[in-house]
A and B are shown apart, each in its own frame.
Chain A
Amino acid sequence: MTPLTVGIIGICILLVLLFSRMPIGFVMALVGFAGFAYLSGFDGGLGVLRTVVYSTFADYNLSVIPLFILMGSFCFFAGLSKDLYDTVHSWLGQLRGGLAMATVGACAGFAAISGSSLATAATMGTVALPEMKRYKYDDRLSTGAVAAGGTIGILIPPSIILILYGIITEQSIGKLFLAGFIPGMLEAVFYMVTIYLLCKSNPLMGPPGPRTSFLGKITSLKTTWVVFALFILVIGGIYLGVFSPTEAAGVGAFGAFIFGLARRQLGWQAFKNSLVDTGKTTAMVFIIILGAMVLGYFLAVSRIPFVLADIVGALVVNRYVILVLILLVYLFLGCVMDSMAIMLLITPIFFPLAISLGFNPIWFGILITRVTEIGLITPPVGLNVYIIRGVARDVPVQTIFRGIIPFLIADVCHVALLIALPQLSLFLPSFMK
């Protein structure tokens, strides 16, 4: 058998195991090990396992991951997401659909200090859904806004998915962070416009909430300024080259910790919970990274990525057609798989192809990240939807999925805009020192 045949068989086995509920990282490591051992000898396979495990875990650059997760976790346990919602609520609440817009705004704010989308959806769900129910918002609008808003977290830095992309493709994490900022903010704007249009065509969907006095608006900032402070400290520090992403993560986590202490919201128990939770998530992420590393050896010897790049490169079609096809693969997988796993699983296959077609690696990263996150709110798996279902027990899943449709349309427009105007992603990184 040629290495290519082995590679294709390996990928088929990988897919079968993936859908058999075996942990994704285990599947990737197992298939990677078995395939590499088949092609390069059993001792070679053992050799990969021997060195890769230690070198993946004990990696200085990867320490950015637990530290950023910890920063988000401290903010989460210090109750910052509720404060954020209250602030944006007091600024936008009096508008038609204002509470739903506040949800999206607060999601974007929380995204700026946390790299995880699910935590955002879960907290915003508990905080915002009862409030919208009180003002008789349509269930479709309220749950749709929380589910869609939750996905913003992946694009606005710090983002774990962008870090993983940076690691697997050897791109600058700092540049990726800056590149994600404008698209992430635009995404929030797109969602707010969607809410505005929905409420304009049907005012009963989101009746206006109470008006807050100007003084009330200002005082609502007294707890949430820290979000801006942390964001500017972390991302500004990276932008100006004051510190590396790893150092920024450490400083950010420490800042969030001090903030939680100062607010007396982060007691011993919450501190412990933040750490325990972060430890668990870290292990979860690293098992997938380990799997991706081992699988990477197999893919390289099977030559699949290079052959694919050659075949597609020889096609006489516009390169943007190929780009859209690649994005559709990410979108399709995003519907059935975890976004982190997709990023690590298929990026090594498609990245060389994208580069050979002459696409900018940073821009490509932003695009696939953006498309993958749509999968969080599409059937059948849409993790955010199930998390919201857990919070809003009286709303059927079908209602939530129906509520998401307008936001999906906004998503498609947003992706099209990002493709049409690469400068939206590449403008900020071009200034990085």
Chain B
Amino acid sequence: MWLSRAADSLNKFVHPAVGVLHSAGVGVLAVLMLLTAGDVTLRYVFNRPIIGSYDLTEYMMAIVVSFGLAYCAFLKGHVRVDFVVSHLPRRVQATIDSITGLLGVILFSVVTWQAFIYMQLLFDSGLESTVLHIPRFPFAGLVCLGSAFLTIVLLANFLEYLSQVVRK
């Protein structure tokens, strides 16, 4: 079946990348924890807060969240209401999943496209963080990257469902 083969090869390509992305994201999360705890400690004990911790937190959050999206979708971990569809025959289930899957692919293709435009707008305007003056566009670019990988994972999921529909 060329459909399930396509889904498999897409998954093979995307799986390692999604893993790397997620590891990088949670690595940043560990740093974010140290930053926040360090900031509070330094402020109260030594009266010297970490300058720009607010800016850094915002940028780190952009990475932590967007780098986990694809991984969560890969594990089919996004919350959904299962109890109606799970009672239907398998092929009907797969048909419904393909339709909603396609909607998901379309939605996040648009989100990725808009995230890309947003990055360009930020690049052109040269917007920076308020305290440390770090440009914002690279982080918008990382959000776009995370969203792009989510779209690819959703596409692989969609092909998988579709192959179940047409399977004899």
Contact = CB atoms under 8 A, between A and B. Distances in A.
A49 B110 contact: yes
A283 B71 contact: yes
Interface string B120-137: 010000000000000000
A131 interface: no
User: Dominant SS at the A interface?
Assistant: helix
B160 interface: no
B81 A250 contact: no
A381 interface: yes
A202 to B, nearest CB: 33
Interface stretch (A78-86, A224-232, A284-292, A415-423): A284-292
B65 interface: yes
A59 B97 CA distance: 32
A279 B61 CA distance: 11
A50 B37 contact: no
B66 A21 contact: no
A23 B73 CA distance: 9
Counting chain B residues whose Cβ lies within 8 A of the other chain, the interface size class is: 35 or more
A275 interface: yes
A251 B40 contact: yes
Contact of A250 (B36, B84, B86): B36
A9 interface: no
A135 interface: no
Contacts of B111: 29, 49, 53
B36 to A, nearest CB: 3
Contact of B33 (A29, A60, A67, A380): A67
Given A25-B78, A57-B66, A58-B143, A254 B44 contact: no
A24 B79 CA distance: 6
A63 interface: yes
Interface stretch (A121-129, A241-249, A309-317): A241-249
Interface in A311-350: 336-338, 340-341
A297 B58 CA distance: 23
Nearest to A30: B107
Interface string B19-61: 0001101110110111111011100100000000010011111
B37 A251 contact: yes
A336 B26 contact: no
A422 B69 CA distance: 39
Given A23-B104, A67-B32, A59 B83 contact: no
Given A251-B36, A254-B37, A275-B26, A54 B61 contact: no
B65 A57 contact: yes
A62 B61 contact: yes
Interface in B109-153: 110-111, 114-115, 117-118, 121, 139-140, 143, 147
A57 B30 CA distance: 17
B53 to A, nearest CB: 9
A51 interface: yes
29 contacts: A17-B100, A20-B96, A21-B80, A22-B104, A26-B103, A46-B114, A50-B118, A53-B114, A53-B118, A53-B147, A58-B58, A63-B57, A63-B60, A63-B61, A66-B65, A67-B33, A250-B35, A250-B37, A250-B39, A250-B40, A251-B41, A254-B37, A275-B29, A278-B26, A278-B29, A279-B26, A280-B71, A283-B77, A337-B81
Given A46-B110, A337-B81, 19 more contacts: A20-B99, A21-B100, A26-B103, A50-B115, A50-B117, A51-B118, A54-B140, A57-B143, A63-B61, A67-B32, A247-B40, A250-B33, A251-B36, A254-B33, A255-B37, A275-B30, A282-B65, A283-B65, A283-B69
Interface of A: 17-26, 29-30, 33, 46, 49-51, 53-54, 57-60, 62-63, 66-67, 70, 242-243, 246-247, 249-251, 253-255, 257, 275-276, 278-280, 282-284, 286-288, 336-338, 340-341, 380-381
